[in-house]
Amino acid sequence: MDKTAKGSCLCGKVSFSVEGDFESFFLCHCRHCQKGTGSAHAANLFSTKAKLQWLSGEDLVSSFNLPGTRHNKSFCSNCGSPLPSVQMEGKLLVAPAGSLDASVSIKPTAHIFMASKANWEVDLDSVKKLEAFPK
């Protein structure tokens, strides 16, 4: 494994490194991801080979597994930021793209679960774009 990516939560109490490459990058529009992010979709990186190491705050990492599903969410118990999780009995690393502290080198692979996309997620290219919060 030749690449190492570092990341952290919003409050900075949890930090981690991922050694290895991400194989895919999915923008998931399922209802579970909408509820878990409070947004239109989750943006998660996936790897079957990369290794996760907690650098600080591992004791603040909480996980939630939605009963009856494969949906899993890890987060900082202090600030609520999404964090990476190791799933499928250690065979899959899922890392929220926004949790990384550097640019993501892989482009999104696909939008998934589009049948569940939010009803307001249409014609977003036509919505006004601002560089900062409106005045």
Is 125 part of any domain?
A: no
Is 104 part of any domain?
A: yes
Note the pTM of the prediction, 2 decimals.
Answer: 0.90
Is 127 part of any domain?
A: no
52 near 5, Cβ under 8 Å?
Answer: no
CA distances from 24 to 5, 38, 52 (A): 15, 23, 16
Q: List, for residues 25-39, the tens digit of each pLDDT value.
A: 999 999 999 999 999
Q: Largest alpha-carbon pair distance within the chain?
A: 48
- Return the residue matching tokens 């600080």: 56
Domain carrying residue 71: 4-118
Q: What is the CATH number of the domain that holds 63?
A: 2.170.150.70
Is 107 part of any domain?
A: yes
Q: List, for residues 73-125, the tens digit of each pLDDT value.
A: 999 999 999 999 999 888 999 999 999 998 898 999 999 999 999 999 989 89
Is 124 part of any domain?
A: no
Amino acid sitting at position 108: P
Q: How many domains does the chain have?
A: 1
Residue-wise DSSP of 29-41:
-SHHHHHHHTSS-
Is 130 part of any domain?
A: no
The pLDDT score that the predictor gives to residue 1 is 41
The pLDDT score that the predictor gives to residue 70 is 85
